Amino acid sequence: MTTKQIQAIRGMNDVLPDQAHPWEFFEDTVRDWLRVYGYRNLRTPILERTELFVRSIGAATDIVEKEMYTFVDELNGENLALRPEGTASCVRAVIEHNLLYGGPQRLWYWGPMFRHERPQKGRYRQFHQVGVEALGFPGPDIDAEHLVMCARLWRALGLDGVELDLNTLGDAECRARYRQRLVKYLERHEARLDADSKRRLGTNPLRVLDSKNPELAGIIAGAPKLVDDLDESSLKSFEELQALLREAGVGFRINPRLVRGLDYYNGAVYEWVSDRLGAQNAVCAGGRYDGLVEQIGGKPAPACGFAIGVERLLALIRDYARAVPRVPDVYLVRQGAEAERYGARVAERLRDGGLSVLLHCGGGSFKSQMRRADASGARFAVIVGDDEAAANVVSVKPLREAGQQARASIGEAIDLMKKGVSSE
Ligand code: ATP
Ligand code: MG
């Protein structure tokens, strides 16, 4: 009788050890990148109260209407949600712990997000984001910092062809004016709208511009533009941002249709897109959300930020030359009763000396252990038998280059192998 296998949930992926090194390369690069800009790490729980996302992202958005994993905690009746994004949690934590009393905050987070979407290339139900948020800064200098930062990360990862689409949503009043004009226009074309867009016409008409339905492209292209309704100060700030980007040499194009799928945005918004990703072309998205802190119950504070879609970004990295799989420096082969004990001690000494060591476990012949050593990719085999144990030495055999097997004290062996490793 065989027991039925249990499989992972659709749209939620395992990253297997053979696929992990691009992730590790990305994580290392991202940590260095955040450090040189002085951002500090914030870690929040994956579960939050559903209310947090409804209030921030907006009730009439795709995420809240149909993509959130929500459930009632059976033990206490609380309505909970797996986080669909990180900004709301970040703002909640900042308010809850009064972080803004210490002055403006530059923060980042990293981790899985959950959305019940139709799984396809570049769209998963568990995916990962790196998010960067700056709270307490009115901009547009900080908005420019974020975009300059992104451009630096694309360079560090060796990406080209990631392009910046930029727009401004203005303040709440100008959006209300624009909304009226847009609704009038869309009503004239109502017969040609799809069911989703018809519904949004009543609830959240700006979202129609965000539709991915190619049949609506013509209607969307002909829609009135928000820029004609913009208030003075949004317009001025947007022009300053563009000047800062030109100064920094960050290219962009203005996309008047860019509205973003979350309600909390105002002012400058943007998406970094690549034409190599097919329909799921945005790798990073963000903008200003000056009303959100107050909306979640804090004292009003301006803020902005962005999130990178890690899976989509990894799909863009072509040059994995720097993302080489990690191999151990040493594979330790040990045979004989005394050598087993001695070998385990030697492995710890080598690690004290800064080398990475795979200690052979599970016994077996010398030949089979050497086969494992080869297959591990290690630079050296360190071999100990009862002879070596008695003499308190080891035998070192280079596995990746010509060279004789040689006996050495543990200290000499460390020096020898570290020279070999660092000369790579
Ligand atoms: P899209 O328009 O592609 O649905 P979005 O506007 O819903 O994106 P955001 O909420 O702005 O996405 O999230 C920021 C980034 O996270 C996106 O640009 C994308 O790279 C990534 N992302 C969003 N949803 C998914 C998903 N379901 N699977 C993989 N990556 C995602
Ligand atoms: Mg989406």
Number of domains in the chain: 2
Q: Which residues line ligand 1 (CB under 6 A)?
A: 85, 115, 117, 122-124, 127, 129, 261, 280, 282-285, 307, 309, 311-312
Domain co-membership, 386 together with 245: no
What integer pLDDT is reported at residue 173 of this predicted model? 83
Q: What is the CATH number of the domain that holds 101?
A: 3.30.930.10
Nearest residue by C-alpha to atom 23 in ligand 1 = 309
Nearest residue by C-alpha to atom 24 in ligand 1 = 123
Nearest residue by C-alpha to atom 7 in ligand 1 = 261
404-420: per-residue pLDDT in tens? 899 999 999 999 999 86
Higher pLDDT, 83 or 2: 83
Higher pLDDT, 18 or 391: 391
Least confident of 32-41, 181-190, 224-233, 394-403: 224-233
Q: Which ligand is nearest to the CA of 308?
A: 1
Query: If we measure between CA atoms, which residue out of 295, 254, 37 comes closest to residue 142?
Result: 37
Domain co-membership, 245 together with 128: yes
154-164: per-residue pLDDT in tens? 999 988 889 99
Domain co-membership, 138 together with 249: yes
Q: How much is the pTM?
A: 0.90
User: Is residue 310 very low, low, confident or very high in pLDDT (cuts 50, 70, 90)?
Assistant: very high
Q: What is the CATH number of the domain that holds 395?
A: 3.40.50.800
Ligand 1 atom nearest the C-alpha of 123 is 28
What integer pLDDT is reported at residue 129 of this predicted model? 98
Ligand 1 atom nearest the C-alpha of 67 is 27
Q: Which ligand is nearest to the CA of 212?
A: 1
252-281: per-residue pLDDT in tens? 999 988 887 677 888 999 999 998 888 888
Q: Which domain holds residue 111?
A: 17-171+231-320
Domain co-membership, 305 together with 345: no
Q: What are phi and psi of 177, to 5 degrees?
A: -60, -45
Ligand 1 atom nearest the C-alpha of 286 is 11
For residues 247-251, average pLDDT: 97
For residue 375, being part of any structural domain is answered with yes
Q: State in Å: Cα 109 to ligand 1 middle.
A: 16
What integer pLDDT is reported at residue 318 of this predicted model? 67
Domain co-membership, 21 together with 136: yes
Domain co-membership, 140 together with 281: yes
